[in-house]
Amino acid sequence: MIKRIFSFTLLALSAWLLSFCQEPEEATLPNRPNILFIMSDDHAYQAISAYSDQLIQTPSIDRLAEEGMLFTNASVTNSICAPSRATILTGKHTHINGKIDNMMPFDTTQVTFPQLFQQAGYQTAMYGKLHFGNNPKGVDDFMILPGQGSYINPRFITSQGDTTITGYVTDIITDLTINWLDQERDPNKPFLMMYLHKAPHRAWWPSPEKFRAFASKTFPEPTTLFDDYASRGTAAREAEMTIAYEMLLSYDNKVLPQAITDLGISDDPRNQRYFEGSEYPRINEAQSTLYQPILDSIAESFKERWPTMSDKEKRSWKYQRYMQDYLGCISSVDDNVGRVLDYLDTSGLAENTIVVYTSDQGFYLGEHGWFDKRFIYDESFKTPLLIRWPNVIAAGTTSDEMVQNLDFAQTFLEAAGIAAPNDMQGESLMPLLTGDTANWTRNAVYYHYYEYPGEHAVKRHYGIVTKDYKLAHFYYDVDEWELYDRQKDPQEMTSVYDDPAYAQVVAILRQELDELRKKYKDSPELDQKYIELYTNKE
């Protein structure tokens, strides 16, 4: 009996103590901000006019820079889709959260930031591309694409089973998001919304309207489109992501296979199979009346011009087709982001909502002759990042600090007044957002890419990046170091690792890289462990 009274008293006491612990948080944060996290898949910063207006105008995404902060030096820790998402969710580097590549399963027993938001009383939701699993943790409502998902009439995984929705994926994900905000949102709770686009991922299928509008446009070529990789390492030369050779004429450039057969030219054996097995057969009859005339005219122009083109002209032609489709996809993303921002305005939610726009990594838009990502080189290492938070972030500001996707979880948690677990490895961006830059001390970031041997053949490498330099070690079937002087050679055309003038820089950076690896708990033993896990998996 005494025991029971005692344990009851203990229980009451701890409930009373707990109420004390929770109260100050609620009291000091009566107005916990909502978070709208917008992420696109493979959206290069070169294709956002707030960064560069050479290729496209993106007025809606640009609004976030005009009304908030544009980060010019944001990067990822591992430039590939699923690992980037795992890092964002866990606030941990790849080698700690274990999601080293797109194939390795994600360990769902890990703590992710949406779970912490949910526990703290936020209403949480996720719509669009996650890339792994079928039951995301920590979200009250979700509809996610299976794996990469489809552009046209996409299938979604929901908690009640699968469903297919007719239409174009970017519009549909936005409809779902706005519908949730409008119909499902609990006005008595703050919300966390993960609004995640599939576009502009390969194979870059625009909506019929954008396909038509962009198919006749011409875009400036990057100055490095004809890079011969002469002053770099083996990895750049051996990567299989060139517009010239690996970009497929039908699957990527939308040339109907019949046109290639008609010309009797030799073609990559995967091309026709991929084209006929992906988006093309998903097009329904009504959609076909819109897509087919444009596909026919691409085929016509191909047949007319291809036979007389030089290799150089062929590369330029493929680049134009690539940009027309890629940027057509971006244009839909921008329109749809505009719809959501308008909804926040008209519903009165804008004022207390943090809006983030980012991508899971950068992307090559013909720079170095490439498409795809994976490398520590700038176009894939850097990622767009724009954040709007009225009354906290000064409008129209820019930050060139070295921030990473690793930092998002801790930033959101701090903004919401939720304690971050001690083992998260990023740094909250709050000092930068509030202009308290003296409290931001980071001057180098760590990077590690693993998916090799694999698609696009980008070798394993890790490295350190500072504002001035980039040092990378390529390993596994090579043992090569590269150093780039980011100030003198921003296009990273020449590795100066063996240049005696940089001997001291190399020595210092190698030391700093060792220290960073220790700080983040990466090591040669872990490199080896992941090689073995990867090899055994196949």
Give alpha helix (H) positions in 29-93: 59-66, 81-90
- Among 63, 93, 99, 201, the residue binding ligand SGN under the rule CB under 6 A is 201
Q: Which does 456 bind (CB under 5 to 8 A by kind): Ca ion, ligand SGN, none?
A: ligand SGN
Integer Cα distance of 77 and 83 in angstroms: 9
Which one of the spans 114-122, 197-205, 287-295, 501-509 is the region binding ligand SGN (CB under 6 A)?
Answer: 197-205
Place of tokens 């708990």: 521
Q: Which does 48 bind (CB under 5 to 8 A by kind): ligand SGN, Ca ion, none?
A: none
Q: Which is nearer to ligand SGN, 50 or 203 (CB)?
A: 203
- Among 62, 325, 372, 527, the residue binding ligand SGN under the rule CB under 6 A is 372
Q: Which is nearer to Ca ion, 383 or 411 (CB)?
A: 383
Neighbours of 533 (CB within 10 A): 14
Q: Does 456 bind ligand SGN (CB under 6 A)?
A: yes
Integer Cα distance of 477 and 391 in angstroms: 52
Residue 408 near residue 387, CB atoms below 8 Å: no
CB 264 to Ca ion: min, Å: 36
CB 456 to ligand SGN: min, Å: 6
Q: Which does 202 bind (CB under 5 to 8 A by kind): Ca ion, ligand SGN, none?
A: ligand SGN
DSSP notation for 448-494: EE---SSTT-PPPEEEEE-SSEEEEEE-SS--EEEEEETTT-TT---
Q: Is 128 helix (H, G, I), strand (E, B) or coil?
A: strand
Token readout for 81 is 């889709």
CB 179 to Ca ion: min, Å: 26
Q: Which is nearer to ligand SGN, 190 or 362 (CB)?
A: 362
Q: Which is nearer to ligand SGN, 213 or 457 (CB)?
A: 457
Integer Cα distance of 349 and 395 in angstroms: 17
- Among 35, 40, 42, 172, the residue binding Ca ion under the rule CB under 5 A is 42
Q: Does 41 bind Ca ion (CB under 5 A)?
A: yes
Which one of the spans 6-14, 78-86, 105-113, 163-171 is the region binding Ca ion (CB under 5 A)?
Answer: 78-86
CB 81 to ligand SGN: min, Å: 3
Q: Does 376 bind ligand SGN (CB under 6 A)?
A: no
For β-strands 353-359 and 34-40, DSSP reports them as parallel
CB 170 to ligand SGN: min, Å: 16
Integer Cα distance of 156 and 133 in angstroms: 12
Residue 372 near residue 364, CB atoms below 8 Å: yes
DSSP state of 180: I
**H or E element: which one contains 378?**
helix 378-381
Q: Which does 455 bind (CB under 5 to 8 A by kind): ligand SGN, Ca ion, none?
A: ligand SGN
Site for ligand SGN in 129-188 (CB under 6 A): 148
Which one of the spans 161-169, 257-265, 357-365, 408-416 is the region binding Ca ion (CB under 5 A)?
Answer: 357-365
Q: Which of 213, 445, 409 is nearest to 329 (CA)?
A: 213
Task: Name, in order, each residue with C-beta under 8 angstroms of 472's C-beta and a sequence gap of 6 or more.
Answer: 376, 447, 461, 462, 463, 481, 482, 483
Q: Which of 416, 425, 522, 360 is nearest to 110 (CA)?
A: 425
CB 371 to ligand SGN: min, Å: 8
**H or E element: which one contains 191?**
strand 191-196
Query: What are the φ and ψ backbone dihedral angles of 413, each rounded to 5 degrees?
Result: -60, -45
- Among 360, 372, 379, 492, the residue binding Ca ion under the rule CB under 5 A is 360
- Sketch the per residue contact string, 276 through 315, with ligand SGN: x for CB under 6 A, - otherwise: ----------------------------------------
Q: Does 196 bind Ca ion (CB under 5 A)?
A: no
Integer Cα distance of 279 and 205 in angstroms: 8
Which one of the spans 195-203, 216-224, 296-304, 332-340 is the region binding ligand SGN (CB under 6 A)?
Answer: 195-203
- Sketch the per residue contact string, 36 through 65, with ligand SGN: x for CB under 6 A, - otherwise: -----xx-----------------------
Place of tokens 């039951």: 135
Q: Which is nearer to Ca ion, 81 or 344 (CB)?
A: 81
Q: Which of 119, 137, 124 is nearest to 34 (CA)?
A: 124
Neighbours of 175 (CB within 10 A): 15
Which one of the spans 52-60, 75-83, 298-306, 530-538 is the region binding Ca ion (CB under 5 A)?
Answer: 75-83
- Among 81, 249, 260, 413, the residue binding Ca ion under the rule CB under 5 A is 81
Q: Does 268 bind ligand SGN (CB under 6 A)?
A: no
Q: How many CA atoms lie within 13 A of 418 on its CB side?
A: 24
DSSP state of 138: T
CB 363 to Ca ion: min, Å: 8
Q: Which is nearer to ligand SGN, 174 or 361 (CB)?
A: 361
Q: Does 427 bind ligand SGN (CB under 6 A)?
A: no
Integer Cα distance of 363 and 372 in angstroms: 6
Q: Which is nearer to ligand SGN, 84 or 324 (CB)?
A: 84
Token readout for 73 is 């030096």
Q: Which does 194 bind (CB under 5 to 8 A by kind): ligand SGN, Ca ion, none?
A: none
Positions that interact with ligand SGN (CB under 6 A): 41-42, 80-81, 102, 148, 201-203, 274, 372, 455-456
Residues that bind Ca ion (CB under 5 A): 41-42, 81, 360
